[in-house]
Structures are given as C-alpha cells and as structure tokens.
Structure 1
Amino acid sequence: MNKNDYKRVFDSMEPDERFEQRLAQNLAKKGRSEAMGRNRRMLLYISASLAVVACAWILLITNLGGSTSNPDPVAPNPPDQTVAEGAVFLPKLELPKETNAAMDMIGLFVYQGRIYTQTSTRIPPEAAQAILGEKVGRTKGNIDEWSSQEEYAKELASSIGEQDIFTVKGYDSDFRLMTYQVEGGQVWSEFYECLNGISVSSGADVFQKLKVMGNEQSVSWESYDSWNESKKQYQEIALDETYQQFLQALYEAEPIEANKLNGIYDKGAESMKFLLITLKDQTQVHVSLHQGGYVRYVPAGVFFKVNDSAFAALWDIMK
C-alpha cells in the first residue's frame, strides 16, 4: 500500500467525536489551532494526511527483535511465510523504532503480540453493552512524539490513551476487541481489529470473521455523493436471491493486493458505492463497491474480485 492508498483508507473511515477532539488538541499543540474552525470533512482530510506518515512507518517491516530491555515486543513476522497460490499475505504490522506526533492520532493498541487498529465497523451505543465480553486489560497511553521503543513496544501500548479493552461476544479475540466506557451517562465504544499477519485466499477469510453470511438483519446502500458529504442517505436492499448470490460470490472472491488497484479511486463518483450491512447483533459492517466487480473492507489491505454477473446484478439495483 502506498501513501495515497493510506490516505484513502483513512478518508473512508469515520472517526468518532473523541477522535476528532484528539486531532484538534494535537493540531493546537503544534501551533495550528486555526484548523479547528474548518468544517468536518476538511478535518478528516487533515487527519488522513498526517496519518499517512505514521502508516508508512508502521508498514516498514522492522525487526524489533528480542532485546531484554524491551520485555514485551511485538513479535516479528515468521522468517519463511508460506503463502498458497492465489492467496495474499497481509504482513504483520509492526511499530516503528521511532515515532512522531502523527502516531497518537491513529487508533491502535498492542495485545498479545498483535496490533489492533480502528475499523470501519460500528455499533450503536445502546447495543454495545449486549456484546461486551470480558475485560482483558487497560491500555497505556504511551505512544506519542516522545516515546522510546521500550515504552511503546510493550503489551497494551496504545495511541488511544488509557482505556479498558474487552473481548466481543460472538467474535474471535484474535480478530476483534473493543473499548467501552460510560461518560456522563453516554456510552462510548469502538471496535479494533487485527487483519494483519494473515493469509487471505478468498473473501471468506475476512467476511467469516465478521459473521456476515446468514446473520444479516438489513442491508442498505449509499451513493458516493451521499457518503462524501456525510448525508447518510441510505436505501434498503432486499435480502433476496440477487443479494444472496452476490454475498456467496464475495465469499468465493479472489483477493488482490490493494496497492495493485490504486487507480480504482480515480474513476469518478459514479464508480463507487457503499454497502451498510446491519447484523442481528446490531454491528454495522461498511464495505465499498467499485465498478468492475471489486469490493473492499477497511482496514484489510485487499480488494476482492467478485464474479461479474453476481456483482453486476446487485450494482444495477443501486440506482
């Protein structure tokens, strides 16, 4: 993934209010408080631009090693990673040896040698408690521009401050964890997912983790213009044969490394649409659809090439 691809990934995510507040605070600290008066979309673009630098660092495959001065390092990738023919290996994210101010604007934390990052899946506050699992720890708010490697490579090091981390009922903790807290009677929760250090052979390797198939409550779609302007003008899609054939084709779809399709974002507004799949547990899975049969779920670093006829049948409904 190159810098432009990372910018687009972060543009496609919709940070919550606390994320924006943290961003504004960091900009102010750097003497750029004038940016706080800009509109929300501009704020997200500033976030994305700064995040590019940090993400580029994150994906540098640095060997953190097993230094005794670093008791809980992030485990390195296996030296000889075997990938099946047709599969895509998503490298294990590793924290860099040096960091900067942009790092603490990326929502991530370290747990049991894995790095979990912010995801595009959401859940309404009133539904979050029902899937709240067991507490596994509390993050350290220790990743900032002054951090040393010894500080930020430890277990539960994070860029999200001090927050309690929980498992999520119904989901593998190797894949998804969540934060949950109540402030002033208001619930704040967010999912963090680990979609790195794995081999992806088909769409099923990602969407089975999300528990999509057979678990849908409703499905709706949104145009690029609605998404780009945060209008949230969703239109419902029937859970009929057309949708079911599309989903089956998505599970069987071939993975393609995201950096091989960077130009897909430059084809204009009519070439991109978005699906919002609400599951029975009220989790809301967001995926982007791209003309030509390509589907992507952020933050996975792959596109999936869906069978042409199954994709076209669903695409034609979204008008």
Structure 2
Amino acid sequence: MTTFQSLPPQSEPPLSPRQTLPTMYDLPDENPEEEYLPDQYHGRQPGILDDTFKPSNYSPDEIFTAADLNLYYDVRHTNWYKRPDWYAVVGVPSLYEGHDLRMSYVIWQEQVSPFVVVELLSPSTEDEDLGRTVSQRGKPPTKWQVYERILRVPYYIVFSRYTNEIQPFRLVGGHYELMTPTDDQLYLVPELGLSFGLWQGIYKGVNRIWLRWFTESGEMILTPDEEAAAAQEQAAAAIAEAAAAQQEVLAAQQEALAAQAEAAAAQEQARLASERAERLAAKLRELNIDLDDLG
C-alpha cells in the first residue's frame, strides 16, 4: 500500500509595518485636549503657500500639501505626532492611495517624508520652533528633532508674522544650516525648480507681508485669484487694443473718404475750368479772333 507523507507547513512571509501598524483611519486626527485653535492668519498664510507651490518637475497629482494636519512619524510610538502649520510632500499621490482625502499623514504608510515644513512663529512656540527646547526623557522629541533627525526634512522654514522675519534652514550633512538669500532676497530650492521669499501685497482681501513661492528665476507664481485678475486685465487690454485698432480703421476710412471727396472736387473744378475755356474759345471764334494770334 502506498503511503503519502504530509508536507511541512510553509511559513507565511513576515508582514510589513505598513500592514501591521495603524493607518490614518485608526489614528486620531485631532487632540481635544489641545488649547490651540487656528486664527485667521494661520488659515490664510498656508493658503497662499498652497496656491503658489508648483514645483516644475512634479505634476499636481504627485504633490501633497497640508496645513495643521497631524504628521505621525514614529513606528515605535504610533500616537506621537507633530502638527506643522504647513508642509509639502512630493512624489506621493495627492490623494491617499489615489482616491481619498487624507485625515492625517502617516509616515509608515506613505513611506515619503515631507520635503518642506513651515512653522509660523508665535511667542508660545518660538523656542521649540527654533530648536531651543530640550526634549524630556520619555517624552516625544521636539519639532526640531523630528524634522532634522527623524524625518530629515530637507527644508525647514520659520516665519514670524510679528516681525516679518524669515529664518529658513536647509539640511546639510544631517544638520540644519541657515540659508543665505539671493540678491533678490529669495531662497532657492533647486531640487524643485522653486524659490521662496516675502512679498507685500493683497491676498484674500488682506494687505500685508506674506511668505510665498516663486519660480527658481524669481518670477512670482500667481494664485488662482491673481491668474483670474491677470486674465481679466489681458482681456481688457485686448478689448482696448481692438477698439483702438477699430478707431484707426475708421479714421483711415474717413481720411480716404475725405481724399476721395477732395479728388472729386478737384475733378469738378477741372471740368468747370475746361468748360469755361471751351466757352471762351467759342466766343473768340465767333469774333474771328485766332487764339494763336493772341500768343
């Protein structure tokens, strides 16, 4: 009789952190114990950053930007997060897994760290924003430590609405170094084909100094409202140019008509002069006077 030996059970491949750790659907997207509530400025300043962040080497569906959205960064402490005032990630789908709006940004799910983080300075957060706070044992690391050492965010920008001072840092050799502006007082981000700096102007009805993005060559990247206004100005200029051209055509037509009238008048004068000459010649002939003798 033939006997069959049972095969040893095959071991399952180990699960990745992405499969075992909580996703954005499992983690809280806010902390009700936090006293901080965004004011109007914290709503509008990130808006102009969103509107003007257009890297030349990434399509819109490869860019994710967020303001005041939980950023979970530590697989060992899945409830630890930071909440940047604004940050941008490139090389990820603009929607979570291509179809859903994000409730938070979870590093072990996304696998890509932010490329730029912006913190809007306030008196209560100044020390931590600028790396002056010392982390306490057993407590979450500071913002500076998370951005510089854990996530290794290439660009970290701190801006004060109170002094209009910008302090941008670039990750060099694992540590943040203060950036040097160009002659136009812009700061280059060549990896994205962009630069950033301060601009005085009106955004959402408020005239003040704003932090915004420019092209690498220093041209201002327009917001949708600015694009619409520019389009209206161009349309108005085109209409005015067309009206001026029409006026020129009408003036030319009137000039041509005047020239035709002048030519007709000259022809009429010539005809009348010719008729008078004919009548005079006829009268002289009646008097037997030869015109040649008069010469």
Report the TM range for the smaller structure's normalisation: under 0.3
TM-score calculated relative to the size of structure 2: 0.25
Higher strand content, 1 or 2: 1
Bigger-Rg structure (1/2): 2
TM-score calculated relative to the size of structure 1: 0.23
| More contact order relative to length (CA 8 Å, sep ≥ 6) | 1
